[in-house]
Amino acid sequence: MDVMKKIVKDRIVLVSILFLSLLMLGIIFANVLSPYDPNKQDIMNKLAHPSSEHFFGTDMLGRDIFSRILYGGRVTLLLSFLIVFLILLIGLIFGGISGMFGGWIDASMMRFCDLMLSLPNEMMSLCIIGILGPSLLTIILALTIVRFPWYVKMIRTEVLNYKTKNYVVFSLSSGKSKGWVFKEHIFPPIIRAIIVYSTLDISAVIMSISALSFLGVGIQPPTAEWGRMLNESREIAVVEPWQMIPAGITLFLVIAMLNYIGDAVAEGINEANSE
């Protein structure tokens, strides 16, 4: 049975895909759907409760929370997609080279990856951002550096598994270049596993971006970002706890649904491979 048929039978997956699709559309067309400028302050109308004018109310500076959720998604989600793409690209290049060539190249890359993976990701991210200063470029650089070694090792393992297949051994022995063999025989089958891993990792990257912003070293004000919004609402959480709900619930749903979709895709692929 086709993998997609297995996946679409799960109603929770369908609901998750629908929710994430609608959210992405809202984020893409935020300038049309959002009723207010996300950074426009209205001190006279601060901490307004949800109403027909402000769907999710306003924050401490009178900024519309609904508008900031939409615009904040642009930063959180699109930045996470970019980081995962860069990680995948680096992982494919170095993991493919390591697995195909072996020898001292493979040994050197694996020792470097082992060294990087032995260090706490969060601590390394904070150190890089602390040295270079908080900015979008620094966040991309920090999260890419701390996460790509795992992809290199994972893709190398996949390459080594397929490298022993008879048709791959035959192509190599017949004089085909290792680059050609990787492109034609190894990359197509491992792309499924890569898609699964990247789907699962997007939620982890989103969490890392939001965590850095929550700690004050990620996205800087006045730019809207979900983790930053939680940080700002934390100061008044005791007297106005509802301020944390929109950004918190949105972040929770996005991460939970991405994880569920990733698990469903992985299970579907495993069942398809076992048939």
Model pLDDT for residues 11-22, shown as the tens digit of each residue: 888 888 899 999
Which residue reads 């067309």 in tokens? 29
pLDDT bracket for residue 49 (50, 70, 90): confident
**Sign of the CA dihedral with 106 first, then 107, 110, and 116 last:** negative
The pLDDT score that the predictor gives to residue 270 is 64
The pLDDT score that the predictor gives to residue 185 is 82
What DSSP state is assigned to residue 48? P
Integer angstrom CA distances of residue 35 from 136, 160, 185 = 26, 53, 51
The pLDDT score that the predictor gives to residue 188 is 83
Determine, yes or no, domain membership for 236: yes
pLDDT bracket for residue 166 (50, 70, 90): confident
Determine, yes or no, domain membership for 189: yes
Find, among 64, 40, 38, 42, the residue nearest to 53 by Cα. 64
CATH number of the domain where residue 32 is located: 1.10.3720.10
DSSP SS3 for 64: strand
Determine, yes or no, domain membership for 212: yes
Determine, yes or no, domain membership for 7: yes
Across the range 217-235, mean pLDDT stands at: 86
How many angstroms separate the CA atoms of 106 and 121, rounded? 23
Determine, yes or no, domain membership for 47: no
The pLDDT score that the predictor gives to residue 45 is 86
Predicted confidence (pLDDT) at residue 252 exceeds the cutoff of 90: yes
The pLDDT score that the predictor gives to residue 132 is 87
Predicted confidence (pLDDT) at residue 253 exceeds the cutoff of 90: yes
pLDDT bracket for residue 272 (50, 70, 90): low
Across the range 122-129, mean pLDDT stands at: 88
The pLDDT score that the predictor gives to residue 4 is 63
Token couple for 128:
């890089």
Q: What is the mean pLDDT of the chain?
A: 85
Exposure string for 49-81, b = 16+ CB within 10 A, e = fewer: eeeeebebbbbebbbbbbbbbbbbbbbbbebbe
Determine, yes or no, domain membership for 44: no
Determine, yes or no, domain membership for 171: yes
Percent of the chain exceeding pLDDT 70 equals: 94
Determine, yes or no, domain membership for 18: yes
Tell me which of 42-46, 136-140, 192-196 is least confident.
Answer: 192-196
The pLDDT score that the predictor gives to residue 274 is 59
Domain range for residue 180?
Answer: 3-38+62-274
The pLDDT score that the predictor gives to residue 86 is 92
Q: How many domains does the chain have?
A: 1
Across the range 104-120, mean pLDDT stands at: 88
Q: What is this structure's pTM?
A: 0.85
Model pLDDT for residues 63-97, shown as the tens digit of each residue: 999 999 999 998 888 889 899 999 999 988 998 89
Percent of the chain exceeding pLDDT 90 equals: 17
